Amino acid sequence: MAEAVQEELVALAAIFCGQDEWEVLSRSETDGTVFRIHTQAEGPTAVDTPVELVFHLPVTYPLCPPGISLSSDHLTRTQCAVVQEKLLEQAKNLLPEPMVHQLVLWVQQNLRHILNQTEAAGSGSKKCASPPSSAADDGLWIALLHIDHMRAKTKYVKTVERWASELRLTGRLMFMGKIILMLLQGDRNSIKEYLLRQKTSKVDVDSSGKKCKEKMISILFESRAQAGQKRFLAFEVKEHPSMVELQKEFEAAGLQQLYSEVVLGLVT
Protein backbone atom coordinates (compact mmCIF):
# COMPACT_ATOMS: atom_id res chain seq x y z
CA MET A 1 0.00 0.00 0.00
CA ALA A 2 2.89 2.36 0.75
CA GLU A 3 4.12 1.91 -2.82
CA ALA A 4 0.73 2.98 -4.20
CA VAL A 5 0.78 6.11 -2.04
CA GLN A 6 4.30 6.97 -3.17
CA GLU A 7 3.24 6.59 -6.79
CA GLU A 8 0.30 8.90 -6.12
CA LEU A 9 2.57 11.56 -4.62
CA VAL A 10 4.91 11.40 -7.61
CA ALA A 11 1.97 11.73 -9.97
CA LEU A 12 0.54 14.69 -8.05
CA ALA A 13 3.89 16.49 -8.12
CA ALA A 14 3.97 16.02 -11.89
CA ILE A 15 0.38 17.22 -12.36
CA PHE A 16 0.64 20.29 -10.14
CA CYS A 17 4.00 21.40 -11.41
CA GLY A 18 3.29 25.10 -11.86
CA GLN A 19 4.75 27.77 -9.63
CA ASP A 20 3.52 27.38 -6.03
CA GLU A 21 0.96 24.73 -7.05
CA TRP A 22 2.50 21.94 -4.95
CA GLU A 23 4.38 21.89 -1.65
CA VAL A 24 5.18 19.05 0.74
CA LEU A 25 4.84 20.41 4.29
CA SER A 26 6.00 17.38 6.27
CA ARG A 27 6.76 13.68 5.86
CA SER A 28 7.08 11.12 8.64
CA GLU A 29 7.03 7.33 8.96
CA THR A 30 4.72 7.66 11.96
CA ASP A 31 2.56 10.67 11.07
CA GLY A 32 2.32 10.26 7.31
CA THR A 33 2.61 13.05 4.72
CA VAL A 34 1.15 16.55 4.68
CA PHE A 35 1.15 18.61 1.48
CA ARG A 36 -0.48 21.67 -0.01
CA ILE A 37 -2.07 22.08 -3.45
CA HIS A 38 -3.02 25.45 -4.93
CA THR A 39 -5.62 25.24 -7.69
CA GLN A 40 -8.56 27.12 -9.18
CA ALA A 41 -12.23 26.23 -9.39
CA GLU A 42 -15.22 27.93 -10.95
CA GLY A 43 -16.83 30.09 -8.27
CA PRO A 44 -20.46 31.20 -7.82
CA THR A 45 -20.10 34.02 -10.36
CA ALA A 46 -18.48 31.75 -12.98
CA VAL A 47 -15.09 33.31 -12.23
CA ASP A 48 -12.06 31.14 -11.45
CA THR A 49 -11.54 31.12 -7.68
CA PRO A 50 -8.11 30.32 -6.17
CA VAL A 51 -8.39 27.52 -3.63
CA GLU A 52 -5.79 26.03 -1.29
CA LEU A 53 -6.13 22.41 -0.21
CA VAL A 54 -4.01 20.86 2.52
CA PHE A 55 -4.05 17.06 2.61
CA HIS A 56 -2.77 14.88 5.44
CA LEU A 57 -2.22 11.28 4.35
CA PRO A 58 -1.91 9.20 7.55
CA VAL A 59 0.13 6.00 7.47
CA THR A 60 -3.11 4.01 7.13
CA TYR A 61 -4.16 5.90 3.96
CA PRO A 62 -5.87 4.96 1.64
CA LEU A 63 -7.60 2.45 3.92
CA CYS A 64 -8.85 5.55 5.75
CA PRO A 65 -9.65 8.96 4.22
CA PRO A 66 -7.10 11.78 4.27
CA GLY A 67 -7.39 14.78 6.51
CA ILE A 68 -8.42 17.78 4.40
CA SER A 69 -8.33 21.52 5.02
CA LEU A 70 -9.71 23.97 2.44
CA SER A 71 -9.18 27.72 2.36
CA SER A 72 -9.47 30.65 -0.01
CA ASP A 73 -9.11 34.40 0.32
CA HIS A 74 -12.09 34.68 -2.03
CA LEU A 75 -14.53 32.65 0.07
CA THR A 76 -16.07 33.20 3.49
CA ARG A 77 -15.34 30.93 6.43
CA THR A 78 -18.83 29.49 6.16
CA GLN A 79 -18.36 28.70 2.49
CA CYS A 80 -14.99 27.08 3.17
CA ALA A 81 -16.49 24.93 5.92
CA VAL A 82 -19.37 23.77 3.71
CA VAL A 83 -17.11 22.80 0.80
CA GLN A 84 -14.64 21.08 3.14
CA GLU A 85 -17.43 19.02 4.71
CA LYS A 86 -18.69 17.93 1.28
CA LEU A 87 -15.14 17.09 0.26
CA LEU A 88 -14.65 14.86 3.32
CA GLU A 89 -17.91 13.08 2.51
CA GLN A 90 -16.71 12.51 -1.04
CA ALA A 91 -13.42 11.08 0.25
CA LYS A 92 -15.25 8.37 2.20
CA ASN A 93 -16.98 7.28 -1.01
CA LEU A 94 -13.62 6.73 -2.73
CA LEU A 95 -12.11 4.34 -0.17
CA PRO A 96 -9.88 2.33 -0.29
CA GLU A 97 -8.10 3.67 -3.39
CA PRO A 98 -5.68 6.64 -3.70
CA MET A 99 -8.00 9.59 -4.21
CA VAL A 100 -6.30 12.99 -3.93
CA HIS A 101 -6.38 13.87 -7.63
CA GLN A 102 -10.04 12.82 -7.86
CA LEU A 103 -10.84 15.05 -4.89
CA VAL A 104 -9.11 18.05 -6.45
CA LEU A 105 -11.01 17.48 -9.69
CA TRP A 106 -14.22 17.15 -7.69
CA VAL A 107 -13.66 20.55 -6.08
CA GLN A 108 -12.88 22.13 -9.44
CA GLN A 109 -16.07 20.73 -10.93
CA ASN A 110 -18.46 21.21 -8.01
CA LEU A 111 -17.42 24.36 -6.15
CA ARG A 112 -19.92 26.61 -7.93
CA HIS A 113 -22.76 24.13 -7.50
CA ILE A 114 -22.11 23.71 -3.75
CA LEU A 115 -21.84 27.44 -3.09
CA ASN A 116 -25.00 28.21 -5.04
CA GLN A 117 -26.85 25.83 -2.73
CA THR A 118 -25.43 27.46 0.40
CA GLU A 119 -27.36 30.22 2.08
CA ALA A 120 -25.49 33.50 1.99
CA ALA A 121 -26.54 34.65 5.47
CA GLY A 122 -23.63 36.51 7.06
CA SER A 123 -21.28 35.50 4.29
CA GLY A 124 -20.06 38.88 3.20
CA SER A 125 -17.81 39.88 6.03
CA LYS A 126 -15.04 37.49 7.00
CA LYS A 127 -12.88 35.88 4.39
CA CYS A 128 -11.38 32.43 4.83
CA ALA A 129 -7.66 33.09 5.05
CA SER A 130 -4.97 30.49 4.49
CA PRO A 131 -4.67 27.91 7.29
CA PRO A 132 -2.59 29.31 10.17
CA SER A 133 0.35 27.39 11.59
CA SER A 134 -1.20 27.89 15.02
CA ALA A 135 -4.46 26.37 16.18
CA ALA A 136 -5.44 29.49 18.10
CA ASP A 137 -8.52 30.14 15.98
CA ASP A 138 -12.03 31.29 16.83
CA GLY A 139 -14.08 28.43 18.27
CA LEU A 140 -11.25 25.88 18.38
CA TRP A 141 -10.98 24.01 21.69
CA ILE A 142 -8.68 21.27 22.97
CA ALA A 143 -9.58 18.53 25.45
CA LEU A 144 -7.36 15.79 26.88
CA LEU A 145 -9.13 12.70 28.21
CA HIS A 146 -7.82 9.71 30.17
CA ILE A 147 -9.48 6.34 29.58
CA ASP A 148 -8.82 3.80 32.31
CA HIS A 149 -9.08 0.67 30.14
CA MET A 150 -10.60 -0.87 27.02
CA ARG A 151 -11.68 -4.50 27.26
CA ALA A 152 -13.33 -4.57 23.82
CA LYS A 153 -10.61 -2.48 22.23
CA THR A 154 -11.40 -3.02 18.54
CA LYS A 155 -15.08 -2.12 18.87
CA TYR A 156 -14.31 0.72 21.28
CA VAL A 157 -11.81 2.30 18.89
CA LYS A 158 -14.19 2.03 15.92
CA THR A 159 -16.90 3.76 17.94
CA VAL A 160 -14.53 6.57 18.94
CA GLU A 161 -13.44 7.07 15.32
CA ARG A 162 -17.05 7.19 14.15
CA TRP A 163 -18.02 9.78 16.77
CA ALA A 164 -15.00 11.94 15.95
CA SER A 165 -15.95 11.85 12.27
CA GLU A 166 -19.62 12.65 12.91
CA LEU A 167 -18.75 15.57 15.19
CA ARG A 168 -15.94 16.83 12.93
CA LEU A 169 -13.36 16.45 15.68
CA THR A 170 -9.68 15.88 15.00
CA GLY A 171 -6.91 14.69 17.31
CA ARG A 172 -5.31 11.53 18.60
CA LEU A 173 -6.26 8.37 20.48
CA MET A 174 -2.93 7.35 22.01
CA PHE A 175 -1.90 4.07 23.61
CA MET A 176 1.33 3.79 25.61
CA GLY A 177 1.47 0.62 27.66
CA LYS A 178 -1.57 0.76 29.99
CA ILE A 179 -1.99 4.50 29.46
CA ILE A 180 -4.83 5.50 27.11
CA LEU A 181 -5.16 9.18 26.23
CA MET A 182 -7.49 10.99 23.85
CA LEU A 183 -6.66 14.45 22.55
CA LEU A 184 -9.58 16.18 20.84
CA GLN A 185 -9.72 19.39 18.82
CA GLY A 186 -12.81 21.09 17.51
CA ASP A 187 -15.84 23.17 18.32
CA ARG A 188 -16.51 23.31 22.07
CA ASN A 189 -20.10 22.15 21.67
CA SER A 190 -18.90 19.18 19.59
CA ILE A 191 -16.45 18.22 22.33
CA LYS A 192 -19.26 18.44 24.89
CA GLU A 193 -21.43 16.23 22.69
CA TYR A 194 -18.58 13.74 22.39
CA LEU A 195 -18.22 13.59 26.19
CA LEU A 196 -21.96 13.05 26.54
CA ARG A 197 -21.86 10.14 24.13
CA GLN A 198 -18.78 8.71 25.81
CA LYS A 199 -20.46 8.69 29.22
CA THR A 200 -23.96 7.61 28.22
CA SER A 201 -23.33 4.97 25.52
CA LYS A 202 -22.32 1.34 26.02
CA VAL A 203 -18.89 1.49 24.42
CA ASP A 204 -17.13 -1.32 26.28
CA VAL A 205 -17.80 -4.62 28.06
CA ASP A 206 -17.46 -5.45 31.75
CA SER A 207 -15.48 -8.33 33.26
CA SER A 208 -18.31 -10.74 32.42
CA GLY A 209 -18.43 -9.65 28.78
CA LYS A 210 -21.65 -7.65 29.01
CA LYS A 211 -21.92 -4.28 27.28
CA CYS A 212 -21.34 -1.39 29.67
CA LYS A 213 -21.02 2.38 29.79
CA GLU A 214 -17.71 4.21 30.26
CA LYS A 215 -17.58 5.09 33.96
CA MET A 216 -13.88 5.71 34.47
CA ILE A 217 -13.05 8.34 31.85
CA SER A 218 -11.61 11.59 33.23
CA ILE A 219 -11.10 15.01 31.69
CA LEU A 220 -7.49 15.98 32.33
CA PHE A 221 -7.58 19.30 30.48
CA GLU A 222 -9.98 21.46 28.48
CA SER A 223 -9.30 24.93 27.10
CA ARG A 224 -9.47 27.16 24.06
CA ALA A 225 -6.52 26.53 21.73
CA GLN A 226 -3.58 28.85 22.38
CA ALA A 227 -0.98 30.42 20.09
CA GLY A 228 1.73 27.94 19.14
CA GLN A 229 -0.54 24.91 19.33
CA LYS A 230 -0.88 23.03 16.06
CA ARG A 231 -4.15 22.09 14.41
CA PHE A 232 -4.60 18.38 13.64
CA LEU A 233 -5.96 17.65 10.18
CA ALA A 234 -7.44 14.27 11.08
CA PHE A 235 -8.31 11.96 13.96
CA GLU A 236 -5.77 9.14 14.25
CA VAL A 237 -5.09 6.18 16.50
CA LYS A 238 -1.47 5.89 17.62
CA GLU A 239 0.42 3.13 19.46
CA HIS A 240 3.48 4.58 21.21
CA PRO A 241 6.18 2.14 22.36
CA SER A 242 7.60 4.48 25.02
CA MET A 243 7.01 7.70 26.95
CA VAL A 244 9.64 9.32 24.76
CA GLU A 245 7.52 8.71 21.66
CA LEU A 246 4.41 9.90 23.48
CA GLN A 247 6.23 13.07 24.48
CA LYS A 248 7.19 13.69 20.84
CA GLU A 249 3.51 13.50 19.89
CA PHE A 250 2.67 16.29 22.33
CA GLU A 251 5.70 18.36 21.35
CA ALA A 252 4.77 18.14 17.66
CA ALA A 253 1.36 19.57 18.56
CA GLY A 254 2.89 22.44 20.56
CA LEU A 255 1.61 20.91 23.81
CA GLN A 256 4.88 20.43 25.70
CA GLN A 257 3.54 22.14 28.82
CA LEU A 258 0.43 19.96 28.85
CA TYR A 259 2.64 16.87 28.65
CA SER A 260 4.92 18.03 31.48
CA GLU A 261 2.19 19.23 33.82
CA VAL A 262 -0.49 16.63 33.21
CA VAL A 263 0.63 13.52 31.30
CA LEU A 264 3.79 12.87 33.31
CA GLY A 265 1.69 12.85 36.46
CA LEU A 266 -0.01 9.67 35.23
CA VAL A 267 3.20 7.66 35.56
CA THR A 268 4.71 9.18 38.70
CATH number at residue 72: 3.10.110.10
pTM over 0.75: no
Tell me how far apart the terminal alpha carbons of the chain are, to the nearest angstrom: 40
Closest by CA position to 194, among listed 226, 227, 171, 210: 171
* Residues in the chain, pLDDT under 50: 119-138
Q: What pLDDT is recorded for position 127? A: 47
User: Distance between CA 40 and CA 52 in Å, rounded?
Assistant: 8
H/E stretch holding 193 reads helix 188-200
**Co-location of 97 and 171 in the same domain:** no
**Co-location of 119 and 12 in the same domain:** yes
Name 47's Cβ contacts closer than 8 Å, sequence gap at least 6.
Answer: none
- The answer to whether position 134 is within a domain reads no
Q: Which residue type, as a one-letter code, is found at position 106?
A: W
CATH of the domain at 171: 3.30.70.100
For residue 260, the enclosing domain spans 140-266
User: Distance between CA 202 and CA 222 in Å, rounded?
Assistant: 24
**Co-location of 193 and 122 in the same domain:** no
**Co-location of 121 and 7 in the same domain:** yes
- The answer to whether position 24 is within a domain reads yes
- The answer to whether position 133 is within a domain reads no
User: Distance between CA 167 and CA 159 in Å, rounded?
Assistant: 12
**Co-location of 156 and 56 in the same domain:** no
Q: What pLDDT is recorded for position 1? A: 52
Q: Is 242 exposed, middle or buried (0-12, 13-18, 19+ CB in 10 A)?
A: exposed
**Co-location of 191 and 105 in the same domain:** no
- Tally of domains in the chain: 2
- The answer to whether position 159 is within a domain reads yes
User: Distance between CA 218 and CA 129 in Å, rounded?
Assistant: 36
CA distances from 230 to 156, 171, 187, 251 (A): 27, 10, 15, 10
| Residue 79 contacts residue 115 (beta carbons within 8 Å) | yes
Handedness of CA 60, 143, 250, 81 (dihedral sign): positive
User: Distance between CA 118 and CA 165 in Å, rounded?
Assistant: 22
User: Distance between CA 45 and CA 209 in Å, rounded?
Assistant: 59
